[in-house]
Structure 1
Amino acid sequence: MTDRRLSAREAIAALTDDFTELPTPRREYAPDGPLAWQGYDSARARAAERTGEEESVVWGRAAIGTAQAVLISFEFGFLGGSLGERTGDRLEAAHTYARAHRLPVVSVVATGGSRMQEGMRALTQLQRVARESALTSGAGLPRVAVLRDPTTGGGWATLGAGADITLALPATQIGFAGSRVRPPDADPAAYTADSQVTAGSVDAVVHPDDLRDTLSLWLSLLTSPSPEPAPPPHALRGPRPHAATLPATGWEAVERARSPHRPRAEAYLDAYFTRRAPLSGDRAGGTDPGMLCGFGEHEGRTVAYAAQCGTPTRPAGYRTATRLIRLADRLGIPVLTLVDTPGAANDADAEREGAGPAIAALFTAVATARTPVTTLLIGEGGSGGALALAAPDRTWATPDSYFSVIAPELAAAILKRPENNVRSTADQLRVRPQDLVELGVVRGITDTYG
């Protein structure tokens, strides 16, 4: 695949060598469409002659890597890839086939939005697409979108932004408002693929040369769930490992968890998974680099993961983890969470960004997940901002970790104790891993790799 605008079939050929186009049930349409728009049939005929297509989408069954999928590809050269009633017929047929054959749906989108010549009948196709997408999701089937230039209007707001995983090609124009309807003073940088990644609406920008492999990886991971709960990872030793003994005091546990030499989430994920694909963004305007989410291969099967990186977790981080757990739950994929945060971010921006509701939603997602969630406490476990990511009854701890109702320094301050009482307060809080086992907060303490 190159950076130039490809036809629908060229885009398909760039992703697979095994594609079978499938038919859409035909029905009669009024001359010049539902509005009797003069010249509409002639415009369609010219578009068909120019592109060789009968409509703005081509769909069929494809092999992408090792996975079978329903593949939908937009033809932008056909009336700007716009959505009309015939487009809706094809999209509905594609989703119906996917559900009947238990296949994921991949949509390669390039569209300017709804078709003007069909008026509100065209716009209502968005409701139709939304319903079909919801039925496919409800059937436990993944939906992946690949965004080409441009992806605007209802196509972006349904097939693109509504997908489980959304990938974009570089320099793609993405936005609900197309270039001809935006305010004249609108910042064009806000409508780019990179901007949408930053805003948490797109998971990644993928170079065209890497797209086939990336899509193959995603489909493989999303369709190969592990049948067993994720086993907790072994504890990792850092470059300055402690002895095999557990911390003698509460304050020692805190210091070991805060050590810059202790292994962090990236090291655990690298050791646990043979390969993984990151999911990014909360789909509500934000990202948090301190929360790593995605799907990975462990012992040949897929496990989802959400991992804190030792920083105060932002509201976007909690929302991204919630998105991950809900998707994994729908697809029947077990989840591994790694807890490591001094606590939730508590600055004014975090409050304005909805810290409380974001944490509440994550607590609910973990508590109600039907798929098993396994947690390993790998460092700091600061208050509710850490507990929100922890699985009830399936949480383990490493020897270099602690969990506390609040940081010992803050506990001492709340209790109006002098600073020199912080260490004794840590002991009273019983934050050591072995204390957590005795209290029934964690199931056990993981061993270390050799």
Structure 2
Amino acid sequence: MAERMTAREVIALVADGFTPLPPPSDASRTDGTAVDGDGTAVDGPLGWTGYDDSRARASARTGEDESILCGTAEVGGRACVLAVFEFGFLGGSLGRATGDRIVAAYAAAAELRVPLVSLVATGGSRMQEGMIALGQLQRVAAASVRLRAAGVPQIAVLRDPTTGGGWATVGAGADVTLALPGAQVAFAGSRVRPPDADPAAYTAEDQYAHGHVDALVAPARLRDTLASWLRLLAPDTGVAGHDGTPAPPPDALRDLPLPATGWEAVLRARAADRPRAGAYLDAYFEVRAAIRGDRAGGADDRVECGLGLREGRVVAYAAQDGGATRPAGFRTVVRLLGLAERLGIPVLTLIDTPGAANDAAAERAGAGPAIAQAFAAIAGARVPVTSLVIGEGGSGGALALAAPGATWVTPDGYFSVIAPELAARILKRADDQVPETAGQLRLCPQDLVELGAARGVVGVAGPSGHPAEPA
């Protein structure tokens, strides 16, 4: 179990100063009580006997008047709005007053054009307020939609515990979701699960493994991690945005001539010592942070997506790392493209895969629909996308990440409609004819440029002797 901190302790851990937002103006809507005819409080909107006393005890114990603290702050010198749950106040539950304050925090983030950072610790909706409490989830969801439409990013940090509607709205609805190791993270709280439930399924670690959390962050690293994300999501010029200029393709990491044959191109791309995506990302970015998972139960560790800082400019990236891409990988790319579009960030894709995974598990996980979603996201992108083939470009699984008219290739990369071995098999050719088949596929970097499948080859002269890199 993760260490449980009070809201004030969490604020002190991550923030450089904190200024509370003014309470919502309509006190009759936000004090969490109902009144009878002569104005006497009657235990909340449902008249739940003892509710007033429970609130009074919670306030005396925590020093707070509600289950959430909202205010403006700086984290690592970056301005934001913080929404910090106090679990000690009735289990951090969401009541009407909580909803009012959360909605006000979202509105403040939109008005100030600064990210909203939620540090969540909640058991869910407040029973003593019944459907009025449950309805706050709709209000929070609507406020989140408005903030997304305004192009303002949201970060959530999942503390112990994060369950129920707080997980299903504030937590899982954020653009970037971080979690403290050991935290209980689940829709079902510990007292309402099936008696035979696997307890591991309700942990931050399991949510991370299944693609619902981007990173597990120890408390000691939380301030720096949040500051890094705020730097990427809201650079010095304000909320992230772009001027319409595409990201330049990375430089080739090996000084090579063009391959003499198609088979040489294939062998180069499959070489064990060839630079992989991580090396390209390290050379391209000064700082980067990854998002992980498709938010549908899957994560593909052979596809890395995230945001990076290059020469003061934020660029989103999606990089294949040499393995067969699984459906969760394609869906994570689609998720990244959606974030880039909302924030107006150019995108770089690095292509390196023998193809899409085609085993039974991949088919059942929706390989075809996931690839279709990736094609559609690239085709419909309203931000510029730049692509670089850094190794194998295997069929549709690679093409799904390629930007039409803005795809480049390295001297040790190739692109093909099918692997030469599979083409030979389909044509009933002997194994010794595979190299010849590779040549017939015209998959070399220079072939791709001549055929119009690639815009140029980075790092070498083009077929006419002129640089093939962009001006």
Shorter-chain TM-score tier: over 0.9
CA distance in 1, matches of 2:249, 2:320: 15
Name which of 235, 254, 260 aligns with 2:252. 235
Q: 2:27 is matched with which residue?
A: 27
User: Is 1:62 paired with 2:73?
Assistant: yes
CA distance in 1, matches of 2:423, 2:135: 56
User: Is 1:304 paired with 2:316?
Assistant: yes
CA distance in 2, matches of 1:366, 1:360: 10
The two structures have a TM-score, normalised by structure 1, of 0.96
Which residue identity does 1:27 align to in structure 2? Answer: A
CA distance in 2, matches of 1:222, 1:100: 17
CA distance in 1, matches of 2:414, 2:118: 45
Paired residues of 2:319 and 2:350 also in contact (CA < 8 A): yes
Q: 1:42 is matched with which residue?
A: 53
Q: Shift of the alpha carbon at 1:27? A: 2.7
CA distance in 1, matches of 2:438, 2:432: 11
CA distance in 2, matches of 1:3, 1:177: 18
The two structures have a TM-score, normalised by structure 2, of 0.92
Where do 5+ consecutive residues of structure 1 fail to align? none
Where do 5+ consecutive residues of structure 2 fail to align? 35-41, 461-471
Q: 1:212 is matched with which residue?
A: 223
Q: 1:82 is matched with which residue?
A: 93
CA distance in 2, matches of 1:200, 1:78: 30
CA distance in 1, matches of 2:16, 2:78: 13
Q: 1:320 is matched with which residue?
A: 332
How big is each residue's C-alpha offset from its partner over 1:370-391, in whole Å with a ceiling of 9 and x where there is no partner? Answer: 1111110000000000000111
Identity percentage of aligned residues: 66
CA distance in 1, matches of 2:269, 2:360: 27
Paired residues of 1:338 and 1:378 also in contact (CA < 8 A): yes
CA distance in 2, matches of 1:4, 1:435: 58
CA distance in 1, matches of 2:322, 2:135: 46
Q: 1:279 is matched with which residue?
A: 291
CA distance in 1, matches of 2:303, 2:395: 17
CA distance in 2, matches of 1:43, 1:261: 65
Q: Shift of the alpha carbon at 1:3? A: 5.5
CA distance in 2, matches of 1:144, 1:362: 24
Paired residues of 1:334 and 1:373 also in contact (CA < 8 A): yes
CA distance in 1, matches of 2:186, 2:3: 20
User: Is 1:432 paired with 2:444?
Assistant: yes
User: Is 1:270 paired with 2:282?
Assistant: yes
CA distance in 1, matches of 2:43, 2:377: 49
CA distance in 1, matches of 2:103, 2:148: 14
User: Is 1:252 paired with 2:269?
Assistant: no
Paired residues of 1:229 and 1:372 also in contact (CA < 8 A): yes
Q: 1:143 is matched with which residue?
A: 154
Query: Paired residues, what number?
Result: 442
CA distance in 2, matches of 1:145, 1:381: 36
Paired residues of 1:374 and 1:394 also in contact (CA < 8 A): yes
CA distance in 2, matches of 1:98, 1:267: 36
Name which of 392, 414, 426 aligns with 1:414. 426
Paired residues of 2:2 and 2:183 also in contact (CA < 8 A): no
How big is each residue's C-alpha offset from its partner over 1:82-117, in whole Å with a ceiling of 9 and x where there is no partner? Answer: 001110000111111111111110000000000000
Matches within 5 A, 1:160-175: 160-175=171-186
Paired residues of 1:257 and 1:380 also in contact (CA < 8 A): yes
Give the 3-state SS of the residue equivalent to 1:389 in structure 2. coil
Give the 3-state SS of the residue equivalent to 2:213 in structure 1. coil
How big is each residue's C-alpha offset from its partner over 1:172-210, in whole Å with a ceiling of 9 and x where there is no partner? Answer: 000000000001111111111111100100011101100
Paired residues of 1:281 and 1:320 also in contact (CA < 8 A): yes
CA distance in 1, matches of 2:215, 2:371: 25
Q: 2:125 is matched with which residue?
A: 114
CA distance in 2, matches of 1:139, 1:32: 38
Q: Shift of the alpha carbon at 1:5? A: 1.5
Which residue identity does 2:87 align to in structure 1? Answer: F
User: Is 1:10 paired with 2:27?
Assistant: no
CA distance in 1, matches of 2:77, 2:369: 40
Paired residues of 2:212 and 2:297 also in contact (CA < 8 A): yes
Give the 3-state SS of the residue equivalent to 1:359 in structure 2. helix
How big is each residue's C-alpha offset from its partner over 1:52-81, in whole Å with a ceiling of 9 and x where there is no partner? Answer: 111100001011113211100000010000
Give the 3-state SS of the residue equivalent to 1:20 in structure 2. strand
Q: Shift of the alpha carbon at 1:4? A: 3.0
Name which of 356, 361, 373 aligns with 2:368. 356
CA distance in 1, matches of 2:181, 2:257: 51
Q: 1:129 is matched with which residue?
A: 140
CA distance in 2, matches of 1:96, 1:289: 36
Paired residues of 2:327 and 2:366 also in contact (CA < 8 A): yes
Which residue identity does 1:301 align to in structure 2? Answer: R
Which residue identity does 1:393 align to in structure 2? Answer: G
- Structure 1's consecutive aligned runs of 4 or more residues displaced over 4 angstroms after TM superposition are none
Q: Shift of the alpha carbon at 1:24? A: 2.3
Which residue identity does 2:423 align to in structure 1? Answer: A
Q: How large is the RMSD of aligned CA atoms in angstroms?
A: 1.3
Which residue identity does 2:21 align to in structure 1? Answer: L
Give the 3-state SS of the residue equivalent to 2:27 in structure 1. coil
CA distance in 2, matches of 1:422, 1:76: 64
CA distance in 2, matches of 1:300, 1:98: 23
Give the 3-state SS of the residue equivalent to 2:162 in structure 1. strand
Q: Shift of the alpha carbon at 1:369? A: 1.1
How big is each residue's C-alpha offset from its partner over 1:381-417, in whole Å with a ceiling of 9 and x where there is no partner? Answer: 0000000011111110000011001111111222222
Paired residues of 1:66 and 1:220 also in contact (CA < 8 A): no
CA distance in 2, matches of 1:294, 1:17: 26
Paired residues of 1:296 and 1:302 also in contact (CA < 8 A): yes
Give the 3-state SS of the residue equivalent to 1:144 in structure 2. strand
Which residue identity does 1:440 align to in structure 2? Answer: G
Give the 3-state SS of the residue equivalent to 1:339 in structure 2. strand
Q: Shift of the alpha carbon at 1:34? A: 2.0
